[in-house]
Amino acid sequence: MHIGKSYRISEFIAWTKRDIYLLVVMGVVPVVLYQMADLKWLGIPWTVVALLGTATAFIVGFKNSQTYSRIWEARQVWGDILSSSRAWGVTSRDYLKSAEKAKELIYRHLAWLAAMRYQMREPRPWESSHKTNNIRYSRLYCIPEKETTLEAELAKYLSCEELKEVLLAQNKATYLMSTQGKALKELFAKEEMVVSQFIDMEKVLRDFFLLQGRSERIKDFPYPRQFATINRIFVKLFCLLLPFGLLREFDKLNESLTGIMKGNMVWLVVPFSVLLSWIYTSLEQVGDSTECPFEGSPNDVPISQMCRTAEIDLREMLGETELPPPLEPKNSIVL
């Protein structure tokens, strides 16, 4: 998540410069053929391009609206996880007679948070983090899950025996939550808590399962590929045809001019077509970057920071004083 006032224009241009280079070529070639090779038939009616541009604007706007909804839902889910984690810490500490058992439940919950964030960082084929422009930009910030292994993180919270069992599980977060349920059942059987307290804590576990499911749905179900494909086709087609549609329009301006620009107005097609096309390609790129809110891009939900906040809060509830520091942003980006 970018926590600065805004992206600098230089950052945005650097992020999109591959598209800019391509758009310059796509603008220069038609002008050279039209002006220097005298292929006047290359100019196409502006109405065709305008209609295509209108349709493209609608579908790009629709995609960005939907991808924003995805990232906002993801932020709500993880905000609820953070709030419920604090509630879990309080109930574990206050309901249980044994402080050691309370610590065990809280630490297992921290292990669940770690498993969740590592699970959310796993790559998917439709994500955009593997693209060259995103790889280059990722050097400006840190992704904590790429700096340490899941095993090393879980080892902070689990016993060696339980750690081995968790690492063998297909869905480690689900296994940990299932283990929490078994632990609660055993504590209730040993009369460590009364029935109302047991029911309260089981409800919190159920909430965690629901939040985990919502987070997994966002992770594993992308923006529908048919819409993403048609969006990409429309944008590329518009960028390709735009210079051809501008050729005659700028050529007409020569009729009312004198001086050095007379006969050369068509060359202005290059900067204007690049500018207009860049707006569309940038909107598409922003939508792609927003579509997957957990992949590790600078626009993601800061799940690592939120998990660290939860860890600090829960361990403070246990009376611990040696706490990990909050995650600090690097170049105004924190994940």
DSSP code of 329? P
pLDDT of residue 257 exceeding 70: no
pLDDT one-digit tens code per residue, 283-308? 888 888 888 888 888 888 899 999 99
Average the pLDDT over 268-278 and give the result. 91
Bridge partner residues of 330 (DSSP): 333
Q: CA 2, CA 298: separation in Å to the nearest integer?
A: 6
Q: With a cut of 80, say whether residue 31 has pLDDT above it.
A: yes
**pLDDT score, position 263:** 67
d(CA 107, CA 111): 6
Which tokens in the block code for residue 257? 């001019």
Above 90 in pLDDT, residue 134?
Answer: no
pLDDT one-digit tens code per residue, 191-209: 888 899 889 999 999 999 9
Which of 7, 77, 72, 1 minimizes the C-alpha distance to 291?
Answer: 72
Confidence of residue 6 (pLDDT cuts 50, 70, 90): confident
Counted residue by residue, the chain has a size of 335
pLDDT confidence band for 84 (50 / 70 / 90): very high
For residue 273, pLDDT over 80 is answered with yes
pLDDT in tens, 14-28: 888 888 899 999 999
pLDDT at 261: 67
